Each structure stands twice: as C-alpha cells, then as structure tokens.
Amino acid sequence: MEMLTYKIVSGDNLSKISKKLNISTDTLKIYNSSARKGRFIVNKELTYPSKDGVLYKIKRGDSIPKIAKLYQIKEEDIISNNKINPKKLVAGKKIFLPKVSYKRFNELKNNKTSKVSKTKKTKNNKKNKSNKKIQVSGKSSYGFSFPIKYRGINSRFGYRLHPVLRRYILHTGVDLVAKYVPLRAAKDGVVSYAGWMRGYGKIIIIKHSNNYETRYAHLSVIS
C-alpha cells in the first residue's frame, strides 16, 4: 500500500472522484476533510491510499481477532493484506486494515476523543481536590483559611532556586503575595513562638489541634 495524491478538477464531486480513482467514498472521507464536508476546490490535492483501508499501529495486548472486531472487518482480510504472523504481533508496528468504513472509523475516533476529555476532566477534578488546603475563598474542609487576602503566590512548595543562596533547595512553605498587610491565624490555636529565626526572619509559629502547626515568616512587624 502506498499513499497517492489527486488534484481536483472542475466538475468533481465525491462520487466522480471515487470512480476515477477506484477508491471508495468512505476511504476518501477518512483521509480528507474536504471529502467529508463535500467541498472540492479546483487544484487542491486529495490524499488517498492505493487501496481501500487505513493504517493501524499495533498496541500491546492486540490480536487479529480483537482488531478485526474493533474495526468490524474480517480477520482473513487483515492477514492477507499484511506480511505478519497473526500469533506474533509487534507493538508499534503499523499494519493495513482493508475496507474500513468511514462510519466505524469516525465512531472510534469520537470515542477516543471522548475518553481523552473524560481523562482530563478526572485529572482536573483530582487536582482541585488536592488543592483544598489553599482555597481562595478562605476556609476549606480541612479547617484552615488564608492568613491574608489572597493576591497570588510568589513561590510554591518544592525545589526552587534560592533567591539568596543561588542554589536549588527544597522550599518547605508557600510564599504569598503580600506587602505591609495585616495577618491573621489560618486556624484557631496557640502562639508557641514569636520573634526572629534564622532563615525565616521575623516569624510567628502557631500550634493547632491534631498536631498541626502553621508558620508565618518574613514579617515586617510583630505586634
């Protein structure tokens, strides 16, 4: 099987082109958006295979019966059109699937797109759930709220280039955007320390229930 091109001429339509090339309208629609839309512009080229069908990349766990069922074609047609041992399929290798209908091809394409969308939605939902501790609205289900009015984050938790030491180290806090604004406790608790601490500057440490502790560092004033 090889890929060929055809230049559209005046008066062409899907049926005429199909007869000229001896290629089914289904195959032309699979490979060309203009064929799917029924819009044929003179001198524009269409791409098509030398025989009806599509290329398919073998996936891990595939078998000829599985592929045939998926694309609703005959097993013997797959075997006869490819130089392969049906019992030894190689993942990543491409094979030719003959006589695949556009309807079935489109169904599988839409199903794949739907699954990708659902996967992204699930990931986003999980991400939102994992960020409950820093809800902008204030309180979360964990009982903590922002110590200041949220205006953004300067530096997140994780490894970063230290602004003073100029080397990558683990940043064990979250730097919120704030300048000369009043601070409140993120949750009820008891102040266990208030003063200056190396690496933190002026800092307040508050002990909370369930062994939680919050630290408010790089403060301009403690009053």
**pLDDT over 80 at 157, yes or no:** no
% of the chain with per-residue pLDDT over 90 = 39
- Give the CA distances from residue 98 to residues 78, 85, 127, 188, in Å, rounded to whole numbers and listed in that order: 7, 17, 43, 69
Instruction: Report pLDDT digits (tens) over 70-87.
Output: 999 999 999 999 988 888
CATH topology of domain 3-113: Membrane-bound Lytic Murein Transglycosylase D; Chain A (3.10.350)
Q: Is the pLDDT higher at 144 or at 34?
A: 34
| Predicted confidence band of residue 138 (pLDDT cuts 50, 70, 90) | very low
- Mean pLDDT (the chain) is 81
| Domain spans in the chain, listed from the N-terminal domain onward | 3-113, 135-219
End-to-end CA separation in angstroms for the chain: 80
Q: pTM of the prediction? A: 0.48
Phi-psi region for residue 111, left (φ > 0), alpha (ψ -120 to 50) or beta? alpha
CATH code for residues 135-219: 2.70.70.10
